[in-house]
Amino acid sequence: MKIKEHINEIINLIASSIIEGDYEVVQFTDHSIKIEIDELQFEIWTCNGPEYLNFWDVTGMFGEAFSDESTRKKIWDSLEPHIQLHRSTSLKDEKIAAIAKLQAEVAELTK
């Protein structure tokens, strides 16, 4: 079974639990409701009515992800080259944009 199928199965289980009332309300905000099902908390966006109902904070959706330090290290080792490349590229792009903006300002001032 593919990951997407598993996630869909989990979402369907969450939906069934909510529909059946098998949850506890943990917290309300003006925009969302946080509920708990089977010791896991889910925050659901409720501000704009049923057509926009969706998970809001998915970071806590599965509890503490990657709780094993060894696994976290291996995942980090795999992701770090991509992260570093993105950081260096985005910093370079930001610096180029800042220089272009300063050049434009200097050109405007020296007219």
* pLDDT at residue number 60: 62
Q: Are both 18 and 45 inside the same structural domain? A: yes
What is the reported pLDDT for 23? 94
pLDDT, mean over the chain:
84
Q: Are residues 56 and 75 in the same domain?
A: no
Q: How far apart are CA 19 and CA 13, in angstroms?
A: 10
Which stretch of 7-11, 26-30, 71-75 has the lowest confidence by average pLDDT?
71-75
pTM exceeding 0.85: no
Same domain, residue pair 9 and 55: yes
Tell me: the pLDDT tens digits for 41-79? 888 888 888 888 888 876 666 666 677 888 888 888 888
Q: Is the dihedral of CA 47, 48, 53, 55 positive or negative?
A: negative
Note the pLDDT of residue 109.
87
**pLDDT surpasses 90 at 18:** yes
Q: How many domains does the chain have?
A: 2
Burial (CB count within 10 angstroms: exposed 0-12, middle 13-18, buried 19+), residue 43: buried
Q: Which residue has the tokens 């998970």?
A: 55
